[in-house]
Structure 1
Amino acid sequence: MGRARPGERGPPSPGPAAPPAPPTHRARALALLGALLAAAAAAAAARAYARHTEAQAAARQESALKALGTEGLFLFSSLDTDRDMYISPEEFRPISEKLTGSTPTASYEEEELPPDPSEETLTIEARFQPLLPESMTKSKDGFLGVSRLALSGLRNWMTAASPSATFAARHFRPFLPPRGQVELGEPWWIIPSELSVFTGYLSNNRFYPPPPKGKEVIIHQLLSMFHPRPFVKTRFAPQGAVACLTAISDFYYTVMFRIHAEFQLSEPPDFPFWFSPGQFTGHIILSKDATHVRDFRLFVPNHRSLNVDMEWLYGASESSNMEVDIGYIPQMELEATGPSIPSVILDEDGNMIDSRLPSGEPLQFVFEEIKWQQELSWEEAARRLEVAMYPFKKVTYLPFTEAFDQAKAKNKLVHSILLWGALDDQSC
């Protein structure tokens, strides 16, 4: 290229590079289409995998049905708690313990703690009167195909499994309020409910409760005094245990609680039979550090004419072979025989003292009188726990005759509800 002549302009010098042109609408549309196609392919692959998994499960179930038969598959399913069509060693444990006659070996957190010779213990007694057969309205012998075999677990349950048991005071620590929650009548959950009216319910086809964990342990141990197969969490909502403070002093709390739990009265080869009390309620008076328990009582309320729900299977199908009835149990109660006392008595020098006098009589402990600074009535505490379990109880429900007086005074209509059982406990 030659030089420019005088008076002529040379070629322009190269300037900075121009920015890239923005993507066109077409390019953006192609990118979006590609992303949608990729998402659709991933969703299709996920659906295909799910169908493949379901087909495998169906094939395993069909194979098991051919090998075991309907009743055998029913028993297998009751042990297969995770529904993976395999019985793991943990799932087989209840059958193994039953065949060998061994007792369950628990690895609960509380039991792993080494015993403290100076800690206090208390004795709890169980009082049990069996369900009154005449209170069952539907399940008379021969009625609706009900047989004595179907009710055998109920008929054979005549006494408490453990009339008496001893516990360390520290085992009741789960009844203490959460840190920072010292408001009278403010409910908290000892065992939260994992179900609601929207999440359905747990399978009826089970015989053995899952191992309790954490705060479930003490409640499981207490309920085991009645029957060896308590389920700390019921099949239906609301589950769990709720509590609130009813009295506070410098060193003690009074805690009221409400527990929804149930029992499985049958074992293989019989079909499951569920026994669901309307509720367990009660109170505990314990020191704020749970080293001393002054009083404890747990019971099924018996002021209503029906207080237990019973459901049982009479065939391998959960949906079509279920029978249900309601009945009345006069007494189902646990109570401490007295305050907790030291297991070992030491003098000022740390030497052990004989717990009996020279006459042979046991030493008598004198307990200080508790001076309560704040108190809440039993009725109000029970109402608040009831609302925690059943939020619809925020609305005031009245007896039949009182409702009309209120309706007339307020010029409102009456909404009447007629039930076989009680709407605000587990017996309905």
Structure 2
Amino acid sequence: MTGRFARVLSLTAVLLTTVACQTGPADAAPAWEPSSGPGAAARHDVVTWGAAADQLGQGTADRGYRLVVHTSTAGSGLRVRVSNAFGDRPLTLDSVYAGLQSQGAALKPGSNRRLTFGGARSVTVPAGATAWSDPLPGNLPAGSNLAVSLHSPDATGPATGHGMAMQTSYITQGDHTAEESAANWTGTTGSWWYLDSVSVRPKNPDTGAVVALGDSITDGWASTSDQNRRWPDYLARRLQKADTEVKGVADEGISGNKVLADGAGQAALNRLDRDVLSQPGLRTVFLFEGVNDIKAHSGVTAAGLIAGYQEIARRAHAAGKCVVASTVGPFEGWPEWDPAGEAVRQQVNQYIRTSGEFDHIADFDRILRSPYDQARMLPFLDGGDHIHPNDKGMQAMADSVDLASLDCDR
């Protein structure tokens, strides 16, 4: 099928297939997309959305979740990864669907499609494990609001998910995953439950992804909810328009997260493999973290934090991935700021700028700081608490990234 023909297919036609396709083999290609031929074997999955896994309250039996996520790169063969990373017992999901959001919990008519796992409609994920769905026939455009609906008949114990989604999703009692109407999806949640990654298979076999490893700034705190204005969202929109092979973006920020110590989520060092290096199509790790280590007054030194950065770079490089590291942003005016912490921040930033440890650097400190007080954020970019940028600050950060730096090879 020609690329021109693929582009002119309507959104519904490309995402949907007939009922016969839904009940056929999970990995069968639709009629309009050949499953063999020149270049077919070279195609590969690339993450189009991701969120860091964390412990998220307690599971509830017979509850359904309709989780709204915003994709980055386009592709066919949609797959979702469900996570029981923090569970202490097996998690059963007996119904999982994927569709396109229309408004609120309502889906675009005809877009809701059942996902299978190893050909089965139900999956049981062992404690501490994850599971990928089978590929779903059809094409998913970039920048889609995808709604993944899932139901567990007997969930209990610690649940896995992402707490601060900055996105409204929906809950219900009972299994209403197949329904496209919002009628039974009357509850809301600001978290993503059990879902931590979505991948597609881009048409260009050289397409790759960047994964942002960070804290609440990367997670989007102080950006506008339900508008996809986190800095990785702005970056994803730039990448879609750019002449680059990096198109996928996964946001693996956790509010309050640290490089060295567990607390608000596992430390970056402890979650690197699961949240970052496991993402399909990963080409570049974007490291922007450290302010929580500094402001916690837990005795973290510049040397200790630098050692943490070096370990992340070493492990990413050993996996064949590039690393872009950003300087730590200003935070004078935040209650935990003090001159001693500021001295550590300056030492760390000097190391990031000059060490040569990383493949490339981004200087978010320079973008965010006031020219009149370099320890303080520029008021125009300040979300109000002097540590988290607002929407304009998020965009300024994303706009400052050298896109060519993300397209490196090792």
| Fold shared per TM-score above 0.5 | no
Larger Rg: 1
TM-score (norm 1): 0.23
Q: Which has the higher strand share?
A: 2
